[in-house]
Amino acid sequence: MERFVDIIHRKKLGGELSKEQIEAMIHGYCDGSIPDYQMSAMLMAICFTGLSDKELTAMTLAMRDSGSVNDLSAIKGIKVDKHSTGGVGDKTTLIIGPIAAACGIPIAKMSGRGLGFTGGTIDKLEAIPGFRTDLSTAEFFQAVQRTGICVNGQTDDLAPADKRIYALRDVTATVESIPLIAASIMSKKLAAGSDKILLDVTTGNGAFIKEYDQSLELAKKMVAIGCHAGKQTVAQLTSMDEPLGYAIGNTLEVKEAIAALHGQGPDDLMTVCYTLAAHMISLGKEIAYGQAEQEAKTAIANGSAWKTFVAMVAQQGGDISYIEHPKKFPQAHITANYRAETDGYITHMDTEGFGIAAGMLGAGRSKKDDCIDFSAGIVLHHKTNSLVKRGDVLATLHTANETLASAALQRLGYCYTICPEPAEPFALIGDFVEGPY
């Protein structure tokens, strides 16, 4: 049998590995016969020399098959999954899930927690007292059948190879590799079992991939993997050059999502949600985008998306009195204002910096087992190209104590650029990518 060291060597020189070699690599890493140090060397070789389309599909499918693959066929209708590559203030799943379900698309979704500077849907939902994200498979199916939607936590046996490899990438500086990100995301999406997949590929200073061209390449790779695996997959590029909406942090974001479900969300958030929801509805109902967008807007205007959200929260054990009366949510112990240091236009917001500052306030975790303070976070008062005066409040910080607040206030000092002239406006919605399906 070929030694794994020789396979690493071949990849290091840019050679192509066979499907069998890739499958043996994923199996070997999962069963412990390939040690971390060899897998680390392989991941670094992939970072430098990449993967061909064949290799990428083989690696993704081997990672998908490392655990159980959900069979959602018992749920009637075309199931459409949506995945965001991560961002700051991104609460879109809480809004578009109920919109799409209200329009008749079954939403059987598995979501993740926040890690690093980006937030996670499961943490946001758990900010609603009582909300359960650990439903059994039977409960998950029942929930989707009853209300048309369930958003559950990822089970441990969903693409376990990705969990192990991601943990290794995190400590070996191999996270920012387009093929590795594509394989990681698509292995989980394919294992989650929906019929069609919508990818929201974020780009800009608050995204995993910051350069537009590279984000587009990631989108194309993921769409190609999905299509090779027999699932219609499309991708929408969305800017993360400033946080999405005005709220960052779990409870604060739930409150903003509630406003959006009543049609009162900030313009950027509503635009992104209508765009994504329209793509989901268009995929699920096989209708034109324009008609799907109209349906999405109607679901907000006639209250059906809100009713679906309430039904989902109730069904998953959440106390609906909180979402019906958002003032009931526990407030952070202290608030502190960050003020403009000069007059002018906000020309740049360091989105990743806001995510880091929110984490410092207690809204995120830097290690998997860290506890989250649901009430912690940041409320922005101004965004890019606002004209502000020295002393204006740009952001209000919510946290548990003065020490955390002063550290985060200092961090926010690096997040704003204020200039005498406004910046060129950036496009919120970028390319739409669909495969030759």
Residues at the interface with ligand URA (CB under 6 A)? 85-86, 166, 175, 180-181, 184-185, 208
Instruction: Give the CA-trace dihedral at 89, 91, 96, 97, to 10 degrees.
Output: 160
SS3 state of residue 206: coil
**Which neighbouring-strand residues pair with 248?**
378
Nearer to ligand URA, 96 or 185 (CB): 185
In Å, how far are 143, 179, 231, 429 from 60, measured between CA atoms? Answer: 29, 10, 14, 28
CB 120 within 8 A of CB 112: yes
Marked catalytic residue, from 79, 82, 83, 231: 83
Please report how close the Cβ of residue 323 comes to ligand URA at its closest, in angstroms: 28
In angstroms, what is the minimal distance from the CB of 194 to ligand URA?
16
- Cβ-based nearer residue to ligand URA, 239 or 399: 239
| Neighbouring C-beta atoms of residue 112, cutoff 10 Å | 16
Active-site residue identified among 11, 79, 188, 255 = 188
Selected catalytic residue, list 90, 123, 162, 268: 162
Q: How far apart are CA 371 and CA 5, in angstroms?
A: 40
- Least Cβ distance, residue 292 to ligand URA (angstroms): 27
Instruction: Confirm if 418 and 342 have CB atoms less than 8 A apart.
Output: yes
In the annotation, is 184 catalytic?
yes
For the question of residue 162 being annotated catalytic, the response is yes
* Nearest to ligand URA of 51, 310 (CB atom): 51
C-beta of 141 vs 166, nearer to ligand URA: 166
What letter represents residue 222's amino acid? M
Residue 242 has, within 13 A of its CA and on its CB side, a CA count of 23
- Provide the minimum distance between the beta carbon of 102 and ligand URA in the complex, in angstroms, as a whole number: 28
Strands 232-239 vs 196-203: parallel, antiparallel or unpaired: parallel
* From 169, 231, 285, 398, the catalytic residue: 169
Q: Which of 84, 177, 184, 194 is catalytic?
A: 184
| Known active-site residue 83 | yes
Identity of the residue, 181 or 248, whose beta carbon is nearer to ligand URA in the bound complex: 181
Q: What does the DSSP assignment read for 51-87?
A: --HHHHHHHHHHHHTTS-----TTS-S--EEEEE---
Q: Which residue is nearest to ligand URA (CB)?
A: 184
Q: Is 188 a catalytic residue?
A: yes
Q: In whole angstroms, how close is the CB of 413 to ligand URA at the nearest point?
A: 28
Active site residue 169: yes
Q: Catalytic residue numbers?
A: 83, 162, 169, 184, 188
